[in-house]
Amino acid sequence: MLYLSLAVFAADRLILRETGEDAWSRKIELYMPVLCVDKWNVCQSLVEEMLNFLTGDRWKICFRERKLTEIEKKAKEKWEKVTEKNVNISKICMFSGGLDSCIGALNLLCDKEDASDTVFVSHYGGGKGTVEYQGMLKDAFINRFNVDESNFVQNYAAIVTKKGDKKEDTTRSRSFMFFSHAIAYASAMGKEIERKFLVTDESYKAMAVEKHRIVQGYISRRKEGTVRVRIYDTSGFLTIKGANDGIVRNEWEYQVPVNDAEEMLENVCEGHPLEKVRWIVDYQGFRWEIDEFGGRLAPLVVAEVELDEDGVIPPLPPFVGREVSGDPQYYNSNLRP
């Protein structure tokens, strides 16, 4: 995905909008060598639709098979020897230096006493002044919040042109590359391990320490994984979840501006948004999330508990009933409001 996003960014900068029929929208064909070409071909229309929405252009992506280069083979050998990933990192915050990502980072930092589990991922090379703004904000956040400089990662990517050649300045595809960098770093994060139960009574309401309102929708519900957009109270999030392996699966979550989340829910997500109220209960050292579903899904109520490792058996609170972990009919992505 990172290679694809870099190629898209290069095309976006090299093909001037002034050459389009309306001096804005362009027809762009991109021929992209990839690993696992069959899997990419399944996603072709989704990728094109996403880029059309993001840049306002008409994209055609043609994938073809490639093999690992010698450099990639050596790097892969090193990665496979790593036996432990950085399980201390649980959140990725995209940090462009602009106002929207600044607000998202502030929301995240203000809600947490300790942000050491968060990596702030940024990119520069697409315009003047970007790295300077990122540096100013990074220094301000380090001085104000409990966060270390090592939690900030800056990535450089820019096209090389001949002197005097014009470049397109709008660079709307930059956010795709930005997001792909975040995905690459998220591969070092841990897996989601959770158990899920039906709820038998309302005693959880008296035990709850927090209450939140959630609206969410899905950009993709494929069996290999889901892409979810969520508004959690007044914050927006984009979450990618892999396929379940029992009660274990990969999960990557990124905070996005709430206005972007609202626009994605309205224009990109499938069907109607799912609405629910989440109650938080702390019970004998474990944090439980109890979701009350609204609309046509009412009166469904489900309780989840996240675990540090597979095989842990948490004490069950009194409101918990039958376990439905791994039952596809209770996956949020399969619930149709």
Instruction: Give the active site residues.
Output: 218
Residue 226 CB neighbour total at 10 angstroms = 21
In degrees to the nearest 10, what's the CA dihedral of 258, 306, 243, 319? -100
Pairing of strands 210-220, 191-199: unpaired
CA distance 321 to 323: 7
Contact 200, 26 (CB under 8 A): no
Question: Shortest CA distance to 259 belongs to which of 120, 87, 101, 134?
Answer: 101
Helices (H) then strands (E): counts for the chain: 8, 14
CA distance 18 to 25: 9
Question: Helix H segments across 159-248?
Answer: 174-186, 203-207
DSSP code for 245: B
Contact 286, 301 (CB under 8 A): no
